């Protein structure tokens, strides 16, 4: 059974600071990673996805992927209080059953 490990479990970052979140899959067949954000009391919404080695940037958010180590990281620069949320990493492999596996999440709190 594939596991997706996220670290840290929780993170407190001052407003304007950089938040860095990590995620690793145990399944060598994984070829796609997702980052979802879930605000308190809301449903998850996709933030970014990545399947190629390297880096992808969208505004204040940057995602890195190292396929050899099956490790992805999400970096949020100039963090805002509205970034406070649960960040879920998910991974999928091309098994044909369309399943993706979610990690337990990192709870990010941005302190004003």
Partner 1 sequence: NSKVIQTPRYLVKGQGQKAKMRCIPEKGHPVVFWYQQNKNNEFKFLINFQNQEVLQQIDMTEKRFSAECPSNSPCSLEIQSSEAGDSALYLCASSLSGGHAEQFFGPGTRLTVL
**Footprint of partner 1 on this chain (CB under 8 A)?**
32, 34, 38, 42-46, 49, 51, 86, 88, 92-95, 97-105, 107
Residue indicated by tokens 């709870």: 107
Token output for 29: 């067949």
Of 77 and 86, which CB lies nearer to partner 1 in the complex structure? 86
- ω into residue 61 within 30 of 0, thus cis? no
Strand pairing report for 30-38 and 45-50? antiparallel
The minimum distance between CB 28 and partner 1, in angstroms, equals 16
Closest approach of partner 1 to the CB of residue 51, in Å = 8
Smaller CB separation from partner 1, 58 or 99? 99
Beta carbon of residue 43, minimum distance to partner 1 (angstroms, whole number): 4
- Kindly give, in sequence order, each residue whose CB lies less than 8 Å from that of residue 83, ignoring residues fewer than 6 positions away: 19, 76, 108, 110
Q: Name the residue with tokens 């990192």.
A: 106
Measured from the CB atom, the residue of 67 and 107 that comes closer to partner 1 is 107
């Amino acid at each position: 059974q594939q596991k997706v490990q996220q670290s840290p479990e929780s993170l407190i970052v001052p407003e304007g600071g950089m938040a860095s979140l990590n995620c690793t899959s145990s399944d060598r067949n994984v070829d796609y990673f997702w980052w979802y954000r879930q605000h308190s009391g809301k449903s998850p919404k996709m933030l970014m996805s990545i399947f190629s080695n390297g880096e992808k940037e969208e505004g204040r958010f940057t995602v890195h992927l190292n396929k050899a180590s099956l490790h992805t990281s999400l970096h949020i620069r100039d963090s805002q209080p509205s970034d406070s949320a649960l960040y879920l990493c998910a991974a999928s492999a091309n098994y044909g059953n369309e399943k993706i596996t979610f990690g337990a999440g990192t709870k990010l709190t941005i302190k004003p």
